[in-house]
C-alpha cells in the first residue's frame, strides 16, 4: 500500500501558507488554519519540506537532513566565474587513486541536481576494479570498427587507438545511466564541478557511451537499472598536466528580444 510522500504535523504547522504558495504541483491547501496535502500527482520535489519555517513537513520515503541551506551568494561570483572559465578537460592522469570519500561527494552532487518533474531518473555506475576489463573490450571493439565499413569508422579512422584510448590511465570512471539525456547531463555537470573542487580532473568520454550502446558485452557489464541506458561517462583522476592561463573563446551569440 502506497503511503503519502508528504506528511504534515498539525501541531507544528502554523498555517503560514508558504508551502501552499510554493507548491509546484498545487497539491497543498490551507484547511482550518493548517496546511493539508493532497496525494494525486505530487512530484515529491521537497519544496514544502525546504520552505517550512517550523519543520512541520516530513517526507517518510526519503533520506532527509535538517540542515540550513547555503546560499550561492556566499561565494564570490567573480572568483567563481574565473574558476569555471579555467576548467579544462583532462586527458593525462597520475597514478594516484581517488578516495571513496571523494567519489561519494561527486555522486552526492549529481544526486542533488535539478531534474524535469523531479523524476531523478538516473543511476550511477562506479568502475574501479574492473577498469582494465572495460578498457580492453572497448579498445578491441574500436580497433575492429576502425577497419570495418561502419558508420562509426568515419569518426575514428584517423585515431591512434592505444591500450589506454578510453580512460587515459585514470583510476575511476562514473557512468550515469538514465531515461533522459537532459537529466543525466545535468547530473554530470554537477558532478564535474564537485570533482574539480576536489582537485580532480574530468574527461567526458562520448566514445565509451557509444561503445556501451553498441557492444552488448559492455552494456551487460555495466549492469544498468531496468529501462535505463548509459548517457554520460566521466573519467576521473588527479591531473598530470597543469594549465597556466584561461583559454580564449569566441564571443557569445546573444539575441535580446
Residue at 103 is within a domain: yes
- Quickly list H helices, 27-130: 47-51, 77-86, 100-111
Residue 47 per-residue DSSP state: H
* One domain, residues 138 and 166: yes
The CA–CA distances, whole Å, from 181 to 172, 174, 212, 231, 249 equal: 22, 15, 15, 6, 26
Looking at the structure, tell me whether residues 233 and 119 fall in a common domain. Answer: yes
Of 78, 14, 3, residue with least CA distance to 52: 14
Residue 79 lies in a domain: yes
- Whole-number Cα distances in Å, 179 to 70, 114, 148, 226: 30, 15, 31, 10
Please give the radius of gyration of the chain, using alpha carbons only, rounded to the nearest integer: 23
Co-location of 136 and 215 in the same domain: yes
Domain total in the chain = 2
Are residues 107 and 50 part of one domain?
no
Query: What's the confidence (pLDDT) of residue 1?
Result: 40
Q: Write down the residue that cell numbers 573563446 correspond to.
A: 249
Torsion (CA) 16, 19, 21, 26 in degrees, nearest 10: -140
The β-bridge partners of 105 are none
Domain that holds residue 231: 74-237
Whether 11 and 108 share a structural domain = no
Q: Cell match 484547511: residue?
A: 31
Contact 22, 49 (CB under 8 A): no
**Closest residue by Cα to residue 188 from 100, 82, 111:** 111
Spell out, as residue ranges, where the chain has pLDDT lower than 70. 1-2, 149-151
Residue 170's CB: how many other CB atoms inside 10 A? 28
Residue 46's CB: how many other CB atoms inside 10 A? 16
Cβ-contact 246, 85 below 8 angstroms = yes
Residue 40 counted as domain residue = yes
User: Pick from 78, 76, 86, 52: which is nearest to 66 by CA?
Assistant: 52
* 252 in a structural domain: no
pLDDT for res 149: 62
Do 86 and 208 lie in one domain? The reply is yes
Q: Is residue 197 part of a domain?
A: yes
Q: Which pLDDT score is estimated for 178? A: 94
Alpha-carbon distance of 25 to 23, in angstroms, equals 6
151 within some domain: yes
CATH number at residue 19: 3.30.70.20
C-alpha grid cell for residue 24?
Answer: 509546484
Query: CA–CA separation, 173 vs 131, rounded Å?
Result: 8
Q: Check whether residue 27 and residue 79 sit in a common domain.
A: no
Same domain, 25 and 137: no
Clarify whether residues 125 and 205 are in a common domain: yes
Whether residue 63 is contained in a domain is answered as no
State the CATH number of the domain containing residue 101. Answer: 3.40.109.10
Amino acid at each position: 500500500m502506497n503511503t503519502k510522500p508528504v506528511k504534515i504535523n498539525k501541531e507544528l504547522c502554523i498555517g503560514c501558507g508558504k508551502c501552499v504558495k510554493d507548491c509546484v504541483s498545487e497539491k497543498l491547501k490551507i484547511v482550518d488554519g493548517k496546511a493539508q496535502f493532497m496525494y494525486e500527482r505530487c512530484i515529491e520535489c521537497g519544496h514544502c519540506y525546504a520552505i517550512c519555517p517550523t519543520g512541520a513537513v516530513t517526507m517518510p520515503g526519503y533520506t532527509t537532513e535538517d540542515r540550513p541551506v547555503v546560499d550561492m551568494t556566499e561565494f564570490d561570483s567573480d572568483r567563481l566565474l574565473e574558476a569555471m572559465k579555467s576548467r579544462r578537460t583532462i586527458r593525462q592522469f597520475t597514478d594516484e587513486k581517488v578516495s571513496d570519500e571523494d567519489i561519494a561527494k561527486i555522486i552526492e552532487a549529481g544526486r542533488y541536481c535539478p531534474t524535469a518533474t523531479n523524476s531523478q531518473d538516473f543511476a550511477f555506475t562506479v568502475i574501479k576494479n574492473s577498469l582494465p576489463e572495460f578498457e580492453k573490450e572497448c579498445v578491441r571493439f574500436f580497433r575492429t570498427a576502425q577497419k570495418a565499413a561502419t558508420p562509426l569508422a568515419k569518426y575514428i579512422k584517423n585515431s591512434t587507438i592505444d591500450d589506454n584510448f578510453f580512460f587515459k590511465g585514470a583510476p575511476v570512471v562514473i557512468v550515469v545511466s538514465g531515461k533522459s539525456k537532459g537529466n543525466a547531463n545535468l547530473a554530470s555537470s554537477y558532478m564535474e564541478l564537485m570533482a574539480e573542487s576536489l582537485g580532480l580532473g574530468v574527461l567526458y568520454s562520448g566514445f565509451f557511451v557509444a561503445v556501451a550502446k553498441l557492444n552488448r558485452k559492455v552494456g551487460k557489464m555495466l549492469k544498468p537499472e531496468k529501462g535505463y541506458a548509459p548517457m554520460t561517462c566521466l573519467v576521473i583522476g588527479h591531473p598530470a598536466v597543469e594549465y597556466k592561463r584561461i583559454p580564449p573563446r569566441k564571443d557569445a551569440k546573444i539575441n535580446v528580444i
